[in-house]
């Protein structure tokens, strides 16, 4: 804990239940910044309380009442500082921001009361593939007897007498990392099952509250109930419009997320119509990017290009509303690359992918598209470099391994291709795709006996792949075994007639993205 020397005192407040895996990171991030840590435990059965006390927190026990506002207000009641910083247990103050936070409250007056909207970085991926979206929440505020939370879930910080008496200016001097939005975390902690009844109960009591409708719509989206999410989010928009609530944080997000939900429910035309309505109301990059993705999905490439470009332009003048920062950087650039690829301009597509990679140099879909475009452009060695990077991230991916071998082979790096395939076959003798590609490589090297040897285990299982018999027939022909070759070709032809090739899956580049969270308050 920091020592007081006449400067403003800071209370850090946290509520938690069974958060032993997160408490050290959370409290450790503020231990040297806070004058006190007020920790409300709502019924932990693990080491949460023990760890909190070890890290210097004052622990209080409160019975859980299915009401986050009640628990948070209990924490506020025990705080004694001039300022309160509220953290969730799965959050942490971003390293390096402690001194900036202290300097901020040292120079900021506490009268009239204020709630500073700080930047929340929500991490969605894993350590190898981190992705984020950001928004702002009023988490740093002056302690005042009439400032409290309201709402059982997605609670809002309000002045109890008059909401206009509490101002919510934004600051860049405080940044908080949030790790709890990853789907696997939500599922493991049962947050879907916990949140849904609370949201439904609150909405039943406040059916015309746009924010209550919004929160339930977001919950449905998280649970992949897209039709229900779309209907609830559209209701949010219409209620807000009728009530004159159009300039709140969550309204542009309601448009963006409703578009995503409609598209996931195969209601693309409705999604485009709603997106155009939202884009007329808000200069918001998520809306613009999602419109680009929708037009791309509909095959309207020029319209898609227009909206992706507008999203990038907004990066020069950030939106006043919460947004995903990637919707002005690599995501629309990825979309533009897809547009130009589908317009038959792989060179321009590759230029946009290169720009996208400057923002997200390790993002697998970007690396994959770069490799595929270079294959089309005949730059096989450069393509192999991208596939190598992908293989380092996913060494067990059969598809990536095959693409790397193909790039090496086309670049005349035959020994490297052979060594890689040979190692893969030794590790995975049951993966026939490796065996088939090895036969192609050996055939190009005129090792026809080896082709037959490599394919033999495959043939014993009577595969239904015409390519196997076609390659076998070619090798037998080179060995002057014409009758055997004829039989192999006949089987290949018969299989080709009986098997209808499945359509190639459409690429995911340029798809619309969900907006996983939004500021309240």
Instruction: State CA 168 to chain mean position distance.
Output: 28
The pLDDT confidence band at residue 516, using thresholds 50, 70 and 90, is very low
Q: For residue 112, give the DSSP letter.
A: S
CATH of 10-186, one of 3.40.50.150, 3.90.550.10, 3.30.2350.10, 1.10.3720.10: 3.90.550.10
* Residue-wise burial string across 75-94, b where 16 or more C-beta atoms lie within 10 A, e elsewhere: bbeebebebbbbbbbbbbbb
Nearest to 25 by CA among 60, 64, 51: 51
- Residue ranges in 87-223 assigned as alpha helix (H): 98-107, 183-188, 191-205, 210-222
Helices 226-242 and 250-264, packing angle to 10 deg: 150
Q: How far apart are CA 179 and CA 47, in angstroms?
A: 20
* Residue-wise burial string across 284-317, b where 16 or more C-beta atoms lie within 10 A, e elsewhere: bbbbbbbbbbbbbbeeebebbbbbbbbbbebeee
pLDDT at 124: 64
Domain segments of the chain: what residues?
10-186, 189-359, 429-499
Mean pLDDT of 315-325: 67
Average model confidence (pLDDT) for the chain?
Answer: 88
Mean pLDDT of 368-378: 97
Mean pLDDT of 175-192: 64
Cα torsion 454, 455, 458, 459: sign: negative
112 cis-preceded (ω within 30 degrees of 0): yes
Highest mean pLDDT among 178-182, 196-200, 430-434: 430-434
Which residue has better confidence, 124 or 484? 484
Q: Which residues contact 298 (CB under 8 A, 6 or more apart)?
A: 268, 269, 272
Q: Which residues contact 252 (CB under 8 A, 6 or more apart)?
A: 278, 281, 282, 284, 286, 287, 319, 321, 323
pLDDT at 339: 97
Question: Is residue 293 helix, strand or coil?
Answer: helix
The verdict on domain 189-359 having CATH code 1.25.40.10 is yes
Helices 285-297 and 268-281, packing angle to 10 deg: 150
Q: Find the length of the chain.
A: 521
pLDDT at 200: 87
Q: How far apart are CA 160 and CA 148, in angstroms?
A: 7
Answer yes or no: is pLDDT of 162 > 90.
no
Residue in this structure with the two tokens 């060695």, named with its chain if needed:
381
Kindly state the tokens that stand for 43: 């019924």
Q: Do the domains 10-186 and 429-499 sit in the same CATH topology, yes or no?
A: no
Q: For residue 167, give the DSSP letter.
A: B
Q: What distance, in Å, lies between the first and last C-alpha atoms of the chain?
A: 29
Answer yes or no: is pLDDT of 195 > 80.
no
Mean pLDDT of 278-306: 94
Nearest to 358 by CA among 333, 381, 336, 380: 333
Kindly state the tokens that stand for 226: 């897209």
As a whole-number percent, the residues of the chain with pLDDT over 70 amount to 88
Mean pLDDT of 349-362: 95
Q: For residue 114, give the DSSP letter.
A: B
Residue in this structure with the two tokens 């009442």, named with its chain if needed:
65
Are 84 and 143 within 8 A, CB to CB? yes
Q: Which residues contact 285 (CB under 8 A, 6 or more apart)?
A: 311, 314, 315, 319, 323, 324, 327, 328
Are 441 and 414 within 8 A, CB to CB? yes
What would the pLDDT profile of 378-417 be if each residue is shown by its tens digit?
999 999 999 999 999 999 999 999 999 999 999 999 999 9
Kindly state the tokens that stand for 378: 């005949």
Q: How far apart are CA 144 and CA 331, in angstroms?
A: 42
Kindly state the tokens that stand for 152: 């059982």
Question: Is residue 432 helix, strand or coil?
Answer: helix
Q: Which residues contact 509 (CB under 8 A, 6 or more apart)?
A: 334, 335, 337, 338, 365, 369
Rg (CA), the chain: 29
Q: How far apart are CA 251 and CA 116, in angstroms?
A: 20
Q: Which residues pair with 15 in a beta bridge?
A: 40, 88
The verdict on domain 429-499 having CATH code 1.25.40.10 is yes
């Amino acid at each position: 804990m920091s020592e007081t020397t006449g400067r403003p005192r800071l209370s850090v407040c946290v509520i938690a239940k069974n958060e032993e895996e997160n408490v050290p990171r959370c409290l450790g991030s503020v231990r040297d910044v806070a004058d006190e840590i007020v920790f409300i435990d709502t019924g932990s059965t693990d080491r949460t309380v023990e760890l909190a006390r070890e890290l210097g927190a004052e622990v209080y026990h409160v019975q859980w009442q299915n009401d986050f506002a009640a628990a948070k207000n209990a924490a506020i009641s025990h705080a004694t500082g001039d300022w309160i910083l509220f953290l969730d247990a799965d959050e942490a103050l971003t390293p390096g921001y402690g001194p900036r936070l202290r300097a901020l409250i040292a120079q900021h007056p506490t009268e009239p009361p204020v709630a500073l909207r700080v930047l929340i970085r929500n991490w969605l991926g894993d350590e190898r593939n981190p992705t984020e979206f950001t928004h702002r929440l009023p988490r740093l505020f002056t302690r005042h007897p009439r400032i409290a939370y309201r709402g059982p879930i997605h609670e809002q910080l309000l002045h109890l007498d008059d909401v206009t008496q509490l101002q919510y200016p934004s600051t860049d001097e405080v940044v908080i990392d949030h790790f709890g939005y990853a789907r696997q975390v939500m599922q493991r902690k049962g947050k879907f099952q916990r949140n849904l009844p609370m949201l439904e109960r609150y909405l039943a009591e406040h059916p015309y509250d746009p924010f209550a409708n919004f929160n339930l719509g977001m919950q449905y989206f998280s649970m992949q109930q897209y039709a229900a999410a779309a209907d609830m989010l559209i209701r949010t928009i219409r209620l807000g419009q009728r009530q004159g609530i159009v300039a709140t944080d969550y309204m542009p997000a309601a448009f963006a997320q409703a578009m995503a939900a409609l598209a996931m429910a195969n209601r693309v035309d409705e999604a485009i119509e709603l997106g155009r309505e939202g884009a007329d109301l808000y200069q918001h990059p998520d809306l613009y990017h999602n419109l680009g993705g929708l037009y791309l999905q509909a095959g309207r490439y020029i319209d898609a290009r227009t909206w992706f470009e507008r999203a990038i332009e907004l990066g020069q003048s950030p939106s006043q509303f919460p947004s995903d920062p990637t919707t002005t950087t690599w995501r629309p650039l990825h979309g533009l690359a897809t547009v130009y690829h589908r317009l038959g301009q792989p060179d321009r597509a590759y230029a946009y992918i290169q720009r996208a990679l400057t923002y997200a140099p390790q993002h697998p879909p970007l690396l994959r598209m770069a490799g595929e475009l270079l294959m089309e452009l005949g730059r096989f060695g450069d393509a192999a470099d991208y596939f190598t990077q992908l293989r380092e991230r996913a060494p067990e991916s059969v598809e990536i391994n095959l693409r790397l071998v193909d790039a090496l082979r086309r670049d005349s790096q035959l020994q490297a291709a052979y060594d890689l395939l040979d190692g893969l076959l030794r590790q995975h003798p049951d993966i026939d795709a490796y065996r088939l590609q090895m036969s192609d490589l050996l055939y190009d090297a005129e090792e026809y006996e080896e082709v037959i040897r490599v394919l033999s285990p495959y043939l014993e299982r009577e595969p239904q792949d015409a390519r196997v018999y076609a390659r076998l027939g070619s090798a037998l022909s080179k060995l002057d075994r014409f009758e055997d070759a004829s039989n192999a070709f006949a089987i290949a032809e018969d299989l080709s007639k009986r098997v209808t090739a499945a359509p190639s899956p459409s690429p995911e580049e340029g798809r619309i993205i969900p907006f996983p969270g939004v500021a309240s308050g």
